[in-house]
Amino acid sequence: MRRGRGGAVAPACHNFVALSQWGNTMYNVMLKLARDTGDPDAKAWFKKTMESSFDDAGGNAFTPLGRFVMELFRTITPNGREHIGREGGASPAISAARLCRQPA
């Protein structure tokens, strides 16, 4: 089956943006847990989690460490300025996605 015009470009652009978002997320997780400048609440929860039985689900669906990581991913936006209403406009990853779009 032959792809239409630009058929290989869209997946390549998606992969580029996804990799950028993953990198931004990991960077923001590290900022949140940084020793000297991180978020005190996040660091306190991380310490509490790691001092407990972090790998024992105790009959629950997820371990305490799994829940902590899911909460980080829930609260950290891969593109910090992507949301409407925030100042500063779109992040570089969003701008890259717009550049990769094919004209109609």
- The domain ranges of the chain are 9-100
Tens-digit pLDDT profile for residues 42-65: 999 999 999 999 999 989 899 999
pLDDT of residue 19: 85
Does the pLDDT of residue 101 top 50, yes or no? no
pLDDT confidence band for 93 (50 / 70 / 90): very low
Give the pLDDT score at 66: 92
Rounded CA separation 10/47 (Å): 42
* Mean pLDDT computed over every residue of the chain: 76
